[in-house]
Amino acid sequence: MLRRSSPVDRIVNTSVVLVIAFLTIGMGTFGEKEPTKIPEPDDNFSATVIDQSDVSSDITLFSLDGQTFISGRYGGATVSIPFDNIQEMDFYAKGSDLFATVIMRKAPQVELKMDKDRIFYGQLPYGLFSIKIGDVKKIIITGLTKRER
Q: Which percentage of the chain shows pLDDT scores above 70?
A: 74
The CA–CA distances, whole Å, from 9 to 6, 13, 16, 28 equal: 5, 6, 11, 31
pLDDT of residue 47: 97
Please state the domain extents for the chain: 45-144
Residue 116: left (phi > 0), alpha (psi -120 to 50), or beta?
alpha
Amino acid identity of residue 17, one-letter, is V
CA separation for the pair 74, 65 (Å, rounded): 20
Res. 60 pLDDT band, cuts 50 70 90: very high
